[in-house]
Amino acid sequence: MRPSDDTGADIAFTGLRGRLLGALLQRPLVRFHRLQRGFVEQPAEYRRFLFEVIGARLANTPGRVGVFGCGEHSRVLLESIPELRERLHCFTDNNAALWHQERFGCRVLPPEEAVKVCDVFVLSTAVFQHVLRTDLQRLGFSGSMIAMDDQVPPSWFLEGAGQ
């Protein structure tokens, strides 16, 4: 379901006002709040976001996939994006107690090993994604990184806004 105006027409983010609103909705605080609200308060809406937005990014990013993070959010990711489970090469995490174990049916590698075998990482958090991105770059990873709130389509903010 896409947001629409009173006539039922899709809302387009065109013209100066639309582009300004779209840019405002990309501010880090706004994106973070909207994503966290979706995950906690509206899990079905958040899962749809994962499928439509993160799943589309993943489909357009070739290579071996690693997921950075082994917590509950990663379980939700796997359930929401079927292609992720099919392409997942490994998990990685900063928690050494998880290394060389299996989570959600896939092995967990230390970050130093994971960066050597993965072409793309999905950062499985909206809270610490900047830390995870920095950790991967510090280890010399230069591939693609898909984060939960890198770019949220403006229309997604308006869907279900009055609920």
Q: Which domain holds residue 113?
A: 15-149
The CATH number of the domain holding residue 101 is 3.40.50.20
Three-state secondary structure call for residue 55: helix
Q: Do residues 96 and 105 lie in contact, with contact meaning Cβ atoms separated by under 8 Å?
A: no
- State the CB neighbour count (10 A cutoff) for residue 12: 11
pTM more than 0.95: no
Q: What total number of domains does the chain contain?
A: 1
DSSP letter at 122?
E
Residue 88 included in any domain: yes
Residue 2 included in any domain: no
The Cα–Cα gap between 51 and 82 comes to 8
The pLDDT, as a whole number, for residue 27 is: 61
Residue 163 included in any domain: no
pLDDT of residue 119 exceeding 90: yes
Residue 92 included in any domain: yes
Segment (H or E) for 41: helix 28-41
> Which residues are registered as beta bridge partners of 123?
68, 147
The pLDDT, as a whole number, for residue 125 is: 79
Residue 28 included in any domain: yes
